[in-house]
Amino acid sequence: QTRVGFYSTTCPRVETIVRNAVQTAVRADPTLAAGVLRIFFHDCFVNGCDGSVLLDGPSSEKTAPPNVPLRGFEVIDAAKSQLETACPGVVSCADIAALAARDAVVLAGGTSWQVPLGRRDGLVSQASDTVNLPGFNDPISVQIRKFADKNLNIQDLVTLVGGHTIGTGACVVFSYRLYNFNNTNQPDPDINPAFLPQLRALCPNGGDGSRRVALDTGSVTRFDNSFYANLRNGRGVLESDAKLWSDPTTRPIVQRFLGLSGLLGLTFNVEFGRSMVKMGNIELKTGSQGEIRRVCRATN
């Protein structure tokens, strides 16, 4: 029910306004591209793509552990306030998040895609609903199930997690892999032995868990397929990422992104846009459901 050009008569400058807001923010702080992309994923996976993650409140989704590190809400706010001047009451916050995610990818060097629009903003945001989000130590079977629950297949999973080609993770979400994996007092055997000392230097045992490390070593700001090469080389940082290579269900798809072994190749930057359009259609509110918020942090 979303469509490209949804606001072509009601707010023709919507794409320009959002793009300018994202561009201004990302030029000032390039790490915000990753923040904005992740916001959209965390929105869509909880109550559908309805801006629920944007709502403030004492027990809103933002307060749940996986959402506490989210960054870039002020980018959405900036776009919204300009849109309320240009075309008041017309553009949903959920659509702004969808456009901003695309624009962030393009600013990081990714390939553009057309974003179908027409989402409505939700009225509900509960921290407890964030259990649907995939966890960094979920087995592949659980990752697959959580994506399948949202009508996303295994290829969509491997493609969308490729979003980790930009951005960082805090030591606290992966340092257990470096020192005491599954109570073995040993590192995770999936980590390349040459990579292990690098990660240990970045995240010393018992050190500052909030220190941030690139999820795609050597290419943290570029939207490229280097992430998959790192996975193949035992240089995945998150346990869930490393498993995309070690698990036989997902490895062939990583191989296709790398153009390996006579498999039908996949071009990451083309597939990413396709899978983002699919993700952007999760559990949409239609007709008179929801509303068009005046500010993205609160319901009307």
Map the footprint of ligand HEM across residues 250-269, applying CB under 6 A. none
Active site residues: 42
Binding residue per annotation — 129? Answer: no
**Cβ neighbourhood burial of 296 (10 Å; 0-12, 13-18, 19+):** buried
**Cβ of residue 291: shortest distance to ligand HEM, in angstroms?**
26
Between 32 and 296, CB nearer to ligand HEM: 32
Site mask, ligand HEM, residues 9-38, x = CB under 6 A?
----------------------x--xx-xx
Q: Using CB under 5 A as the criterion, which residues of the chain lie in contact with Ca ion when the complex forms?
A: 43, 46-47, 50, 52, 165, 216, 219, 222, 224, 226
Q: Least CB distance from residue 16 to Ca ion, whole Å?
A: 25
143 near ligand HEM (CB under 6 A): yes
Helix segments in the chain, DSSP class H: 14-28, 32-44, 73-86, 93-107, 140-148, 154-161, 176-179, 196-202, 226-232, 239-246, 251-257, 268-279
Report d(CA 224, CA 229) in Å as an integer: 10
**Could you tell me which residues come within 8 angstroms of residue 275 by beta carbon, excluding any fewer than 6 positions away?**
152, 155, 156, 159, 160
29 is in an annotated binding site: no
| Contacts of ligand HEM in 104-123 (CB under 6 A) | none
CA distance 170 to 70: 12
Q: From residue 224 to residue 243, what is the string marking binding to ligand HEM with x (rule CB under 6 A)? A: --------------x-x---
| Distance of alpha carbon 20 from alpha carbon 28, whole angstroms | 12
Question: Which residues are documented as binding site for Ca(2+)?
Answer: 43, 46, 48, 50, 52, 61, 165, 216, 224
